Structure 1
Amino acid sequence: MPDRSGIEYIRFSSSSVVDKPCVGVSVRISLDEGRKTCQGVRVVLGCVAPIPMRARKAERVLEGKPLRPERVQEAARSAAEECSPTSDLRGSEKYKRAIVLTLVRRAAQCAYERALTS
């Protein structure tokens, strides 16, 4: 992984006998040389579409800008809106979107903190 980069993967599993993830989120953030601006942002969502998908709208919210709490929240909302979860035994569509929102927010913050120290 390049210098000034951080990555975080978080998976959420519902309480069941089968430990199959309900939602998975991975975020990679690289920082410019001044460690202020996000670049090379990738947000990938699993289990909320037929195949793992990039949340490109969420990436665009963060790309080329300093990471701020309100921007992270906007990116998380974008990711939750652009995914297409289906209701099943592990949760409803609405529930999975709420999980995506929370996990993208957490993963982005962790990836950013790792990028600051790498």
Structure 2
Amino acid sequence: MRYRHRLRQLVLLCLMGALGNPLPVLAEMPTELRGKWSSHPGRCEPVGGEVDVLTISATDLSFYEIGCKLGRSTRSGTSLTLDAQCFKGGSPVRSGKVVLRQHAANEIDLVLQGFSWIAVKPQRYRRC
């Protein structure tokens, strides 16, 4: 019985690969980057849309109207680059990159690359 279950899983995985539908690879965000970050030190809750609060979990991040599911990551020095599937508001999900650069234990820069609805410049956040 157990053998049949494993065989079915293997067949399903092979079919998904053959059909061009690879399994998603989820990121595992380093613990030191998880949590809430603010673009305005000392204010960690949005006030009328004025404060961008960045929330990072093990596999996604969100701020203002933007949400991203994170995939494979590459580390280079103090920078972490992740494949991402992101959306803004009601826009369709698009593929791109999320780059996080840690300056200190309580300070990071965030850059989203490959998305037409956001400027490709670093946004600075401090830990809440």
What band does the TM-score fall into relative to the shorter chain?
A: 0.3 to 0.5
Higher RCO, Cα 8 Å, sep 6+: 1
Task: Give the structure with the higher percent helix.
Answer: 1
Q: TM-score, normalised by structure 1?
A: 0.34
Bigger Rg, which one: 2
